[in-house]
């Protein structure tokens, strides 16, 4: 399989590069290609002429997006459209990596792939708009929504928790946001399987099960054998520039339709910590 990856130096991008080692892979980091630059995107897609493009490049600073709305839309939406146009020109298939933050979090049961988008922050808005535009530009696009990424090679929730727990007698973690932690190597493997399955449409790809950030932190400390106290706090006690959905669990039905199963998030935490 000839695959081109944008965002190859990011958290997910690094896992994709490892996962796709056996394929004819062309990885681009932000210093190779700025996806806002149409001419450059067009040029590298023409040259690499891939069967599949995986678009993992994005402006992912959720709080930063609130004060940099133009940048958020320029990268996450216009940049994504550039990649889709280039894909259309050369007949490449595209997987666009999107987010649980396209939803508002008012659900009490997992979001299905076809549920209405209703983002409550700028990052989510930029990704939701991108999804809509990509479907227009490239109807056979595969939109892979994921959530709460963690993995080696960058800023990651487990690494932050371990660092805090090692230096403080007690840590406070939010207990009123529920989602599914997703391990980047598991996500990369599922994305590769989606390419092989010639997937299209919206697919939800997270590790199975769900928890709050507090539960996630407790599991990280438990598996690490650390006894640092953890205090459950509310989102209201820790105001951030961007609002977060209270519930952003994604139903796996759309992934199961391709015969793909994801490991439980607790199993992923164990493997992440073992490899550290």
Q: Any idea which residues carry the catalytic annotation?
A: 123
- Choose which of 20, 87, 102, 149 interacts with ligand NAP (CB under 6 A): 149
Which lies closer to ligand NAP via its Cβ, residue 10 or residue 158? 10
How far, in Å, CA of 261 to CA of 125, rounded? Answer: 29
Closest to 33 (Cα-Cα) out of 75, 95, 64? 75
User: Mask of contacts with ligand NAP, 180-209, x by CB under 6 A?
Assistant: ------------------------------
User: Mask of contacts with ligand NAP, 57-96, x by CB under 6 A?
Assistant: xxxx--------------x---x-----------------
How buried is 263 (Cβ within 10 angstroms: 0-12 exposed, 13-18 middle, 19+ buried)?
A: middle
CB of 65 to ligand NAP, least distance (A): 10
- Choose which of 34, 51, 78, 112 interacts with ligand NAP (CB under 6 A): 34
Token representation of residue 100: 């649980």
- Choose which of 2, 18, 23, 30 interacts with ligand NAP (CB under 6 A): 30
Closest to 150 (Cα-Cα) out of 11, 9, 8? 11
CB of 196 to ligand NAP, least distance (A): 20
To the nearest 10 degrees (0 to 180), the angle between helices 157-167 and 265-275 is 60
Closest to 151 (Cα-Cα) out of 20, 12, 41? 12
DSSP for 164-216, please give it.
HHHH-SEEEEE-S-EE--EEHHHHHHHHHHHHHTT--EEEE---BS-EEHHHH
CB of 10 to ligand NAP, least distance (A): 2
Which lies closer to ligand NAP via its Cβ, residue 99 or residue 177? 99
133 lies in the site for ligand NAP, by CB under 6 A: no
3-state secondary structure of 7: coil
Which lies closer to ligand NAP via its Cβ, residue 74 or residue 233? 74
CB of 229 to ligand NAP, least distance (A): 26
How buried is 3 (Cβ within 10 angstroms: 0-12 exposed, 13-18 middle, 19+ buried)?
A: buried
Binding site for ligand NAP (CB under 6 A): 7, 9-13, 30, 33-36, 56-60, 75, 79, 97, 99, 146-149, 154
């Amino acid at each position: 399989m000839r695959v081109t990856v944008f965002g190859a130096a990011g958290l997910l991008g690094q896992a994709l590069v490892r996962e796709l080692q056996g394929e004819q892979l062309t990885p681009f980091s932000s210093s190779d290609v700025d996806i806002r630059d149409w001419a450059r995107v067009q040029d590298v897609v023409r040259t690499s002429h891939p069967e599949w493009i995986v678009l993992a490049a994005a402006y992912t600073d959720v709080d930063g997006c609130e004060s940099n709305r133009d940048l958020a839309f320029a990268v996450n939406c216009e940049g994504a459209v550039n990649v889709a146009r280039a894909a259309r020109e050369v007949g490449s298939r595209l997987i666009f990596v999107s987010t649980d933050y396209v939803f508002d979090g008012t659900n009490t049961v997992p979001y299905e792939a076809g549920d209405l988008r209703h983002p409550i922050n700028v990052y989510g808005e930029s990704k939701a708009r991108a999804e809509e535009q990509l479907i227009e530009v490239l109807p056979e696009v595969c939109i892979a929504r994921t959530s709460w990424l963690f993995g080696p090679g960058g800023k990651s929730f487990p690494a932050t928790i371990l660092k805090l727990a090692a230096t403080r007698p007690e840590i406070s973690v939010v207990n009123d946001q529920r989602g599914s932690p997703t391990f980047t190597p598991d996500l990369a493997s599922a994305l590769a399987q989606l390419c092989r399955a010639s997937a299209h449409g919206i697919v939800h790809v997270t590790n199975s099960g769900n928890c709050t950030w507090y539960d996630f932190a407790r599991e990280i400390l438990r598996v690490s054998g650390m006894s640092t106290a953890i205090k459950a706090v509310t989102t209201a006690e820790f105001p951030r520039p961007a609002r977060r959905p209270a519930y952003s669990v994604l139903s796996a039905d759309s992934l199961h339709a391709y015969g793909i199963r994801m490991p439980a998030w607790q199993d992923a935490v164990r493997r992440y910590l073992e490899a550290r």
